[in-house]
Structure 1
């Protein structure tokens, strides 16, 4: 139970923080995608369309979403798409890549490489020394090409085409290609990143590129740095929230909290944490606000405990069976429904939680739908993880 002497941060204050710090209230919208990524620490990148839709919802001039995001990702490399927390693909500010790699990536990478070597050995495939030769050759080929698909790299290093049977005799037996598994390992290790996609901004087929050069950091120091940034963007949060978002052990979370001097606060859920000096209130947005956020949006996925902005009754309609959130409709800091793009491009939405959602809210939500429809134009997209409401509205 939280100590009554701790500062209290209630639901209204948390929603006000979300509106301003996550660039969702109109007055808080950003000018560039880099500002959005910096404000959120990380943009979910498992579904490529999510990156653009999350940025577009937060830009003052949404019409510039696609060219500006492509500039930041592929021309200036101010943003990088790479593996991060919980072995998930994110888009990070480039200056954060070393912190992410040291704080979360290397521990996961060690397990991934060991798993690959073990799986290959079970299948009678070549050993770790052979794999290291292929890796060095592939990285050299990628350096020469600048960007390349796995198929293009395999033309330079044919051993990438080698296949081996995974989980032989099991119900989930399959055939893996060295290139697919090795590039995944190199991605988690921070040696390669996702490059420009094959096709439009919704394409799931990406080229690979060498990761930007970065210093080697101490893991504990990197964890403290990452947690400080995340609490500044998303605090307050419970220990369970922090453990879930980072994928760290509870001992690592507690060590990082102590290192940054995080302050304990009282939440409706119990004890939470904010960055040092961040216990005071933030200014409530001047006007009510609406937002249409995509599936896997970092705001909707930012906390494990979400009752302060999402009614539990809505979860079955808005999440898939694996816990991935679909497209959500927001009104004044809480999720009130879901939305989808129909085959003709229409943005259809539905309110599921009608408490406090009147005519003003409906008009604001429809305005956001029109804004989204305008900048998306003729592009069609389907969330990678589909939810009941999204499927129904998509028709």
Structure 2
């Protein structure tokens, strides 16, 4: 069996994830396509991940793709998580992941409505959804609060988890909006405030065209392998949220080829992707929490030393801001209240690495400007650095 070692995996990561300076991209769409999709749970992550990989990083370049020509869109998809991807990738992700997520979101909301005991049912939800979409068509775009003002039904409150320790009273607005967004009938528009804000406005949208689910599985698996391969079945199953049976079916449909990894595990690559990528020039990167290069695999041993994990992850398993050197995570970084980026190295990387890391920090500071970034998922090292 063809063997691909960890050194080659790190070389592929530097090139295919556009992290070495010589392979950086000219557009945010090219960045998203290179890693299949950008994590978007934290609004700032999309900008930080994209700009780390752009030749000319700027907030405006990412905003233009998100809200100008809308060539990047957000979908609630893999692992029931919000991702940003290109409109070329979105139909396959929608059919292979987002449709199932949307159905689960609707089932959960209807269950809460029934348990509340006010007679709220599918008909009430359908009518509320119609009113909400009509209000958006009239307003053009609106925040959740503005939609609630325009649609009285959105101001309804329900009791969730009645009779349990988790019992609480909640408004339905955010849940109805979430279901409409999952169905593709509305989408996030420019937020109130800066690019780091998560208080999005909403605007009307159209669902993605129907795509054959089997073809979509193969398409997503093939794209992922070209970006993240070689990788294991477990890696793909974790990243997508698919079960092992669906993952194996997707790998077979994509024509994946089996290879041997360091340590003896079996990995998979895209068809014909056996030749070695040349190692890029020495490179350093400061990547945000939940960046795709840190979140692309269940087993990250080839680029993340086990000893670094306690400092870089929160209790829920979310990775924070990371410092990279030639395909390995060697530390973490944060932004102090005065705007200064600061980092701590957890590996001994030498003078050349230290100089390139400092240059990347200056590059980051230049395009971030006056913005202040606090990750949604805070890790021990990030908290220490900002204390």
TM-score (norm. length: structure 2): 0.97
Structure 1 residues 58-73: aligned runs within 5 Å: 58-62=53-57, 65-73=58-66
Q: Secondary structure in 1 aligned to 2:146?
A: helix
2:10 equivalent to 1:15: yes
Change (3 A) 1:266 1:211: farther
Structure 1 residues 290-369: aligned runs within 5 Å: 290-354=284-348, 357-369=349-361
Q: Secondary structure in 1 aligned to 2:294?
A: coil
Q: Secondary structure in 2 aligned to 1:95?
A: coil
Q: How much does 1:214 deviate?
A: 2.7
2:188 equivalent to 1:194: yes
Question: Aligned partners of 1:43 and 1:211: how far apart in 2?
Answer: 21
| 8 Å contact from structure 1 (residues 265, 273) kept in 2 | yes
Match of 1:38? 33
Question: Aligned partners of 1:280 and 1:265: how far apart in 2?
Answer: 12
Question: Aligned partners of 2:168 and 2:98: how far apart in 1?
Answer: 26
2:125 equivalent to 1:131: yes
| 8 Å contact from structure 1 (residues 29, 58) kept in 2 | yes
Q: How much does 1:191 deviate?
A: 2.4
Kindly tell me the number of residue pairs found equivalent between the two proteins: 385
Instruction: Name which of structure 1's ranges 176-185 and 34-43 shifts more when overlaid on structure 2.
Output: 176-185
Deviations, residues 43-63 of structure 1 (Å, cap 9, x unaligned): 00000001111111111112x
Question: Aligned partners of 2:205 and 2:195: how far apart in 1?
Answer: 20
Question: Aligned partners of 1:107 and 1:212: how far apart in 2?
Answer: 18
Question: Aligned partners of 1:391 and 1:104: how far apart in 2?
Answer: 34
Question: Aligned partners of 2:133 and 2:345: how far apart in 1?
Answer: 49
2:127 equivalent to 1:161: no
Q: Secondary structure in 2 aligned to 1:54?
A: helix
| 8 Å contact from structure 2 (residues 183, 207) kept in 1 | no
Q: How much does 1:211 deviate?
A: 3.2
Question: Aligned partners of 1:173 and 1:31: how far apart in 2?
Answer: 50
Question: Aligned partners of 2:145 and 2:221: how far apart in 1?
Answer: 38
**Residue number among 238, 248, 251 corresponding to 2:245 in the alignment:** 251
Change (3 A) 1:97 1:210: farther
| 8 Å contact from structure 1 (residues 193, 209) kept in 2 | yes
Deviations, residues 4-29 of structure 1 (Å, cap 9, x unaligned): xx111111110111011100000011
Question: Please, which runs of 5 or more residues in structure 1 have no aligned partner?
Answer: 1-5
2:379 equivalent to 1:379: no
Q: Secondary structure in 1 aligned to 2:74?
A: strand
Question: Aligned partners of 2:337 and 2:386: how far apart in 1?
Answer: 7
Match of 2:19? 24
Match of 1:88? 81
Question: Alignment RMSD, CA only?
Answer: 1.2
Q: How much does 1:240 deviate?
A: 0.5
Match of 2:261? 267
Q: How much does 1:213 deviate?
A: 4.9
